[in-house]
A and B are shown apart, each in its own frame.
Chain A
Amino acid sequence: MKPESLLYPAPKGLYCEKGNFYIDPVQPVERALITHGHSDHARAGHGRVLATRETLDIMRIRYGDSFCGESDVAQLGETIAIDGVRVCFHPAGHVLGSAQISVEAGGRRIVVSGDYKRRPDPTCRAFEPVRCDVFITEATFGLPVFHHPDDRAETARLLASLKQFPERAHVVGAYALGKAQRVIALLRQQGYDEPIHIHGALAKLCEYYQTEGIDLGDIRPATLAGDRRPDFAGGIVIGPPSAFADRWARRFAEPVAVFASGWMLIRQRAKQRGVELPLVISDHCDWAELTGTIREIAPAEVWVTHGREEALVRWCELQGIPARPLHLVGYDDEGE
């Protein structure tokens, strides 16, 4: 069976005709396999969903109990047969519960990486390389300029700024699922044990991470209740990036705008968003990790999706690895 007929891009997402299922579909479908809980990959309204227990929990937290018709838990490393297609989930190292999905039929195996990273992350299981004929890789940071620095050095910069500007609140923008918890966990690892205040949009997910045994320490809501209105001077406040344009952000004492994202590597990006202290912390692979992973897995063919496909396809060509862009639509390639 040719890989192109086992799995191909259809209007609703990546489709397996033989098994009649989609992977991370962007519209409601009868049967969906979900790699991880970010909202552009995990949407509500599918008939039947197969995903890791954590991803299903996250979807339930985000969309409510009726997020799908029927849900099945995928155990990592356990092969499930769907109409003669062998499906298996493997850890992707992206966020809690994230998985790659291998799809196998007629002696061919395709691995859909979903979003993934190779750096250690205290909040999720590490990526495991899986041998395959076709590796479908993301390319969010698929340009040779992206070299993510050590994440501990980045959070150390935040702690240094806190000492330098103790009268100002350090307000950190971080995506609600994954990044926020990782930043908190990193700060805790570095011995920061002051309370960290969070925006309401982060509360349920942080609570969930804690019930999963990830220690985030003393977390409190960044609310203004009570007679003495706190201005959070000298403290760390974490909120989703979208909250920074809201009136929510006006409550802080001379805030230092901090943003934790792989995009913060590009100065212009930081400047355009009015970020004063960019922290380059990414839940995706950088260029060296993308190319290193392709070398390590050594697939016969590489398909590239969401992000800067053209550069990664070019690199594969230079290495003599057949590669092509998948042109899937509906994924947020700014997804950090």
Chain B
Amino acid sequence: MKAFAELLGRLVLTPQRNAKIRLLADYFRSAPDPSRGYALAAIAGTLSLNTVKPALIRDLLLERMDDVLFHYSYDYVGDLAETVSLAWEPPADVVPEDIPLGEVVERLQRAGRSEVRSLVRDMLDRLDTAGRFAFLKLVTGGLRIGVSARLAKQALADLGGKDIGEIETLWHGLSPPYVPLFLWLSGEAEMPLLSTPAVFHSVMLATPIGEGDLDGLDPADFAAEWKWDGIRVQLANIGGVRRLYSRSGDEISGAFPEIIEAADIAGVIDGELLVGGTMRTNRATATFGDLQQRLNRKTVNRKLLEDYPAFIRGYDILFSGERDMRPEPFQVRRQALAALIETASPQHFDLSPLVPFSTWEELDRLRSDPPDPVIEGIMLKRLDSPYLSGRMKGPWFKWKRAPFNIDAVLMYAQRGHGKRSSYYSDFTFGVWTEAEGGAALVPVGKAYFGFTDAELEVLDRYVRDNTVERFGPVRAVRAEPEAGFVVEVAFEGLNRSTRHKSGVAMRFPRIARLRPDKLPREADRLETLQAMIGMKG
């Protein structure tokens, strides 16, 4: 645990990408199995553990510590795991141990619900301060160390002198603690064989078009497609094994039995999962709000299947039969995909149409005014680009529609986490609605980004100077028609919601601008938002 704790400590504070890779690769080189594999899983987000609620950890500390002293400490440190790791005092006769990470993980995985409490207490007693911190981050399920799975894979590639593409290909066929992977990387074994050929292959991602990105690019080198507002999926049928994966590699076959049943294709395709009708059946595509009825379910009932039939709009092909199509250029893959979809069920598969264009200006106009409400922008794909896993700049771009904007009034604020723990940086905002006794604010969303550091200073100061009430960590701020703080909120879309009092839920809200020039009474009304439901920005 010592080496892992030191690694986490260094990673959190190291900004340079190359230095992070070296820290990771050095750790993977020197740590033993299975500890290094569990560390990799923890960092890449593939470790499944019974997580422990923060309340339990706090309870354990309060078994031994005065409540007032705990509050002084927590208030000062700002992070519960860190407070507990620092303030924890093991019994005098316990000597700190360097328990291997592998042992810690395996004990946690074996522990039953009723044993967790005493196991956590025992671990906290036996580990040293840094070990306790790493352990608590692990069991509360939030490492937050600024390392992506991709970066960890790059470190693995460096460690073994391999190409990152090889790691990506294997990745989803392997599981923690990745012993065969490390044996291969250290040259002690052959490349691991995948147990099922229908494994998930990392998907190719696009980078957003930024200022000036299109300068110097020739429209003739690119194909354009609509960017559909569903969820990105990968469908595999290899040797009769059928699997549907989300873009992060989670298997979601169980939730979409009709797709699995209709997947009478040989190969692996990439597409957008949508509900409603396919273009081949001449029926309209339904909105993301409708698709949500089918998401996050393990199984599905007949009514949902009838009301919200799912289908895949094909974007790309990775394997045709057993043949790896990924090295082929986009144009070749596109032909293969079209041919495959032609033979597939018309209710369950269609082909994402190309958008003809000759200049970027023309494409910009199309992007701003697309022909279908379920379109959220344009995808640009280089005609000669192979299918590359991960997100790299150049071959694929996404060009989203402009987001919605409304003016809302700041209502509540909460202190942020990590680097923002000394700032009120999580904001709840509301708009006006008619209530008994006149206009009242109703919360419509929460945002914790979009503002600059300088704007955060302004917001934080407003919150501190205008707190009217406190609810635990939350502060209510002054928000009256003539006195309050107006912010311009940008978001990607609105759905109807039964969970929110306002009846609407925003997608990806962020604070676009501060509007100190406006009075709260000038902010938007709930009716404006209701009219936006289902609309695309």
The stretch among A141-149, A234-242, A298-306 that forms the contact with chain B is: A141-149
**Which A residues lie within 8 Å of B418 (CB)?**
268, 271
Contact in complex: A272, B10 (CB < 8 Å): no
* 30 sample A-B contacts, Cβ–Cβ < 8 Å, listed by A number: A144-B69, A144-B70, A144-B73, A144-B87, A145-B76, A145-B83, A147-B86, A147-B129, A157-B6, A265-B86, A266-B86, A267-B9, A267-B13, A268-B79, A268-B82, A268-B418, A268-B419, A268-B422, A272-B419, A275-B13, A276-B10, A276-B13, A276-B14, A277-B13, A311-B69, A311-B72, A314-B66, A314-B72, A315-B66, A318-B66
Is B78 in contact with chain A by the CB < 8 A criterion? yes
Q: Does B99 contact A (CB under 8 A)?
A: no
Which residues of B come within 8 Å of A, CB atoms? 6, 9-10, 12-16, 19, 22-23, 26, 65-66, 68-70, 72-73, 76-79, 82-83, 86-87, 89, 129, 418-419, 421-422
Q: Which of A292-336 contact B (CB under 8 A)?
A: 308, 310-311, 314-315, 318
Q: Does A165 contact B (CB under 8 A)?
A: yes
Q: A145–B86 contact, CB under 8 A?
A: yes
Please, which residues of chain B bring their CB within 8 A of the CB of A254?
16
A33 interfacial by beta-carbon distance below 8 Å:
no
Contact yes or no, B419 A165, CB < 8 A = no
Chain A neighbourhood of B66, CB < 8 A: 314-315, 318
Asked if A93 CB lies within 8 Å of chain B CBs, one says: no
> 5 additional contacts, CB 8 Å, given A271-B419, A314-B68?
A145-B83, A267-B82, A276-B15, A311-B72, A315-B69
A164 contacts which chain B residues (CB < 8 A)? Answer: 22-23, 26
A278 within 8 A of B: yes
A270 contacts chain B at the CB level, 8 A cutoff: yes
Contact with B along A258-276 (1 / 0, CB 8 A): 0000000111101110011
Residues of B within 8 Å of A271, CB to CB, are 12-13, 418-419
Q: Give the docked Cα–Cα distance between A104 and B65 (Å).
A: 37
A78 to B76, CA, bound (A): 41
- When the two chains form their complex, are residues A268 and B22 in contact, meaning their CB atoms are under 8 A apart? no
Q: Is the CB of B78 within 8 A of A268?
A: yes
| Residues of A within 8 A of B (CB-CB), count | 27
A257 to B, closest residue via Cβ: B13
A310 to B75, CA, bound (A): 13
Q: How far is the CA of A268 from the CA of B26 in the complex (A)?
A: 25
| A271 to B129 CA separation, bound complex (whole angstroms) | 18
Q: Which 8 A-B pairs have the closest CB atoms?
A: A145-B86, A311-B72, A144-B87, A145-B73, A145-B87, A276-B13, A143-B73, A144-B69
Cα distance A200–B417 in the bound complex, in angstroms: 38
A308 to B72, CA, bound (A): 9
Closest to B133 in A: A267
Instruction: Find chain B residues with CB under 8 A from A157 CB.
Output: 6
CB within 8 Å for A266 and B69 given contacts A145-B87, A272-B419 = no
A134-155 CB contact bits vs B (8 Å, 1 = yes)?
A: 0000000001111101000000
Contacts of B87 in A (CB 8 A): 144-145
CA of A193 to CA of B72, assembled, Å: 43
CB neighbours (8 Å) of A144 from chain B are: 65, 69-70, 73, 86-87, 89
Task: List A contacts of B419 (CB < 8 A).
Answer: 268, 271-272
CB–CB A145/B13 < 8 A: no
- Distance between A152 CB and nearest chain B CB, rounded to angstroms: 15
Please report the C-alpha to C-alpha distance between residue A267 and residue B422 in the assembled complex, in whole angstroms. 13
Q: Which residue of B lies closest to A314 (CB)?
A: B68
Q: A144-B87, A145-B76, A308-B76 are in contact. Are A278 and B69 (CB under 8 A)?
A: no
A268 to chain B: which residues have CB within 8 Å? 77-79, 82, 418-419, 421-422
In the bound complex, residues from chain B placing their C-beta under 8 Å from that of A272 are 419, 422
Known: A267-B79, A268-B77. A146 touches B72 (CB 8 A): no
Contacts of B65 in A (CB 8 A): 144
Instruction: Give A271 to B14 CA distance when docked, in angstroms.
Output: 9
Q: Bound complex: CA of A157 vs CA of B7, how far in Å?
A: 12
Q: Which one of A146, A266, A267, A311 contacts B12 once the chains associate, using CB atoms below 8 Å? A: A267
Across-interface contacts of A315 in B (CB, < 8 A): 66, 69
Q: How far is the CB of A251 from chain B (nearest CB, A)?
A: 18
Of chain B, the residue at the smallest CB distance from A148 is: B129
Chain B residues positioned under 8 Å from A146 (CB to CB): 86
Contacts of A275 in B (CB 8 A): 13
Measured between beta carbons, the chain A residues less than 8 angstroms from B82 are: 145, 266-268
CA distance A267 to B81 in the complex (A): 11
Report which residue of A145, A157, A276, A318 has the largest number of chain B beta carbons within 10 angstroms of its beta carbon.
Answer: A145
CA distance A161 to B15 in the complex (A): 15
Are B26 and A278 in contact, CB atoms less than 8 angstroms apart?
A: no
Residues of chain A contacted by B13 (CB below 8 angstroms):
267, 270-271, 275-278
B27 shortest CB reach to chain A, Å? 10
A266 and B418 alpha carbons, distance in the complex (Å): 11
Contact of A311 among B15, B16, B73, B77 (CB under 8 A): B73
Say how far B22's CB is from chain A's closest CB, in angstroms. Answer: 7
Chain A hits for B76, CB < 8 A: 143, 145, 266, 308
In the complex, are the beta carbons of B22 and A145 less than 8 A apart? no
| Contacting residues, chain A, for B77 (C-beta < 8 A) | 145, 266, 268
* A266 contact set on B, CB distance < 8 A: 76-77, 82, 86
Contacts of B421 in A (CB 8 A): 268
Q: Chain A nearest CB: distance from B489 CB in Å?
A: 28
Closest B residue to A143 using CB positions:
B73
Partner of B72, one of A143, A149, A270, A277: A143
> Which residues of chain B come closer than 8 Å to A308, judged between CB atoms?
72, 76
User: Within 8 Å CB of A310, what residues of B?
Assistant: 72
Provide the bound-state CA to CA distance between A182 and B86, in Å.
Answer: 24
